[in-house]
Amino acid sequence: MLAICVLRGQGVHVEAVSFASPFFNTTAAQRAARELNVPLHTVDFTDDILGLIEHPPHGFGGHMNPCIDCHARMVRRAGERMAAMGFDCVATGEVLGQRPMSQNRHSLEVVIHDSGMEDFLVRPLSAKLMEPSRPEREGLLDRERLLGLSGRSRKPQMALAKAYGIRKYPAPAGGCLLTDDGFCRRLGNLLADRGIRDLRSLRLLRIGRHMRLPGGSTCIIGRNQADNAALQQAMAEGDVLLDTVNVPGPTLLIPFGVREPADITQAVQVCAAYSDHREKPTVTVRVVASGKESVHTLAGGSRDAYASWVI
Ligand code: SF4
C-alpha cells in the first residue's frame, strides 16, 4: 500500500497485482485495493507454488515456505503482465532487512535475478539503498522522491501510513499457510504419502485433526460441528466416513480409501474414543464405505491411546 502511495506521489499510474493459491488468498489485497481505489489484477499462482514446494531452488524458510523463490516467481508473473499491458516496471513493497531471511540484501538481489526483471524491478520503499533501476536511470521515476527505509522496525511505515491517510492495513506479522507448523506437518504427511495430485487433498489439510493409522491410511477427525459438516460434505467416491450414533462425537473421514482393512477397525476405535461417551458404557459407530453402511458397538476408550498417531 505504501509503495503504491509513494509512486502515485510522483504522478505515476499504478495498478496492483495479487496472487491466489490454496495457501494464501487475495482478501487482504482486495481490501487494500478498495482502500486505495487502485485496480487489482488477480493471478492464479497454484501451479507456481506447488512446483516450488516440491523443488524450491533456494530452500525453505522456517517451515515449508519457499519465500525467496515465491517472491521471485511472483515478480516474474507480475513482469509478464507488465509487458502484456504496456507498463514500465514492477514495484514491490519489500523493505531491505525487514525480514531476516527473505528480505535481506542477498535475497532481494536473488529475486531481481531469478525473476528475470533485472532492470525493471523497483522497491520504492528502499530504492535509495539499492542500485538504480532502469526507470530511475531514465528519469521515469525520480529517485530522490523514493525512500531509503531499512530494518525490522515498522514505525517509519506506520508513520507514513498515517501521513498518507491509510486507516486500515494488515497487522505486520505472519506469512501464508506454508509458515504454519500444524499445516506443514499435515502437508509433509501428504507429500510423503501420495504427493499433491489434486486440489482436494490440499483442501482437506485445512479441516480437522489428522492422524496416520497403523496400516498407513490417513484419517481426519472433526474437532467441532463445522469440521464435521465439512468432512461430511467432502466425502467422495472411495472414501470411508465414520460417525457416532448414540452419543455426540466426531465425524471421521479416511480420504482416498484405506491402505489396510485393519485401519477401519482402528478408525472405529478412534471415533469412539473421541466421542462424548462419559454417560454411556458403549458407543455405536457407523461406517459408510463403498455405498455400504455398517455399525459397530464398543467401549469408548481413551483418546490418549491414539496421541502418537496425530500428525
Ligand atoms: S509467506 Fe508464503 S506467500 Fe509469502 S513469500 Fe513466503 S511462501 Fe510466498
End-to-end CA distance of the chain: 38
The residue type found at 204 is L
Work out the average pLDDT over 223-229: 98
Cell of 244: 457416532
Classify residue 175 as left (phi > 0), alpha (psi -120 to 50) or beta: beta
Looking at residue 245, the DSSP 8-state letter turns out to be S
* pLDDT band at residue 195 using 50, 70 and 90 as cut-offs: confident
Q: How confident is the model at residue 168 (pLDDT cuts 50, 70, 90)?
A: confident
| Atom of ligand 1 at shortest range from CA of 21 | 3
Is the confidence at residue 42, as pLDDT, over 80?
A: yes
Share of the chain above pLDDT 70, in %: 99
Listed residue (113, 105, 98, 145) closest to 129, CA to CA: 105
The DSSP code sequence of 121-141 is EE-TTTGGGSPPPHHHHTTSS
The CATH class that applies to domain 2-177 reads: alpha beta
- The per-residue pLDDT for 171 is 78
Counting from 1 in the atom list of ligand 1, the atom nearest the Cα of 52 is 7
Query: Where do the domains of the chain lie?
Result: 2-177, 180-309
Q: In angstroms, rounded to a whole number, what is the distance separating the alpha carbons of residues 3 and 24?
A: 21
Q: What would the mean pLDDT of 280-293 be, rounded to a whole number?
A: 95
**Predicted pLDDT of residue 238:** 94
Q: Residue 280: helix, strand or coil by DSSP?
A: coil
**CA 23 / ligand 1 centre spacing (Å):** 9
DSSP string, 7-63: HHTTT----EEEEEBTTB-SHHHHHHHHHHT--EEEEE-HHHHHHHHH--TT--SSS
pLDDT at position 205, please? 96
CA of 200 to the centre of ligand 1 (A): 21
- pLDDT per position as a tens digit, 100-158: 878 899 999 999 999 999 999 999 999 999 999 999 999 999 999 999 999 999 999 99
Q: Evaluate: CB of 71 within 6 angstroms of ligand 1.
A: yes
Band (pLDDT 50/70/90 cuts) for residue 272 is: very high
Mean per-residue pLDDT over the chain, rounded: 95
Atom of ligand 1 nearest to the CA of 24: 3
Q: Of the residues 24, 181, 187, which should be mutated to test ligand 1's pocket, given the most ligand atoms within 8 Å of the CB? A: 24
Q: Which atom of ligand 1 is the closest one to the Cα of 66?
A: 7
Residue in 52, 67, 104, 110 to alter for ligand 1 test, most ligand atoms within 8 A of Cβ: 67
Mean pLDDT along residues 209-213: 97
Q: Position of cell 506506520?
A: 158
Output the residue whose Cα is nearest ligand 1's atom 3.
176
Contact 209, 310 (CB under 8 A): yes
Give 178 Cα–ligand 1 centroid separation in angstroms: 7
**What whole-number distance in Å separates Cα of residue 114 and Cα of residue 13?**
26
- Rounded CA-CA distance 130/124 in Å is 10
Which residues are CB-contacts of 179 (< 8 A; sequence separation ≥ 6)?
61, 62, 63, 65
Instruction: Read off φ and ψ for residue 179, nearest 5 degrees.
Output: -105, 5
Q: Can you give the three-state secondary structure of 177-242, one letter per residue?
A: HHHCHHHHHHHHHHHHHCCCCCHHHHHHCCCCEEEECCCCCEEEECCCHHHHHHHHHHCCCCCEEE
- pLDDT for 173 equals 65
Percent of the chain whose predicted confidence (pLDDT) is above 90: 90
Separation of alpha carbons 127 and 119, rounded Å: 13
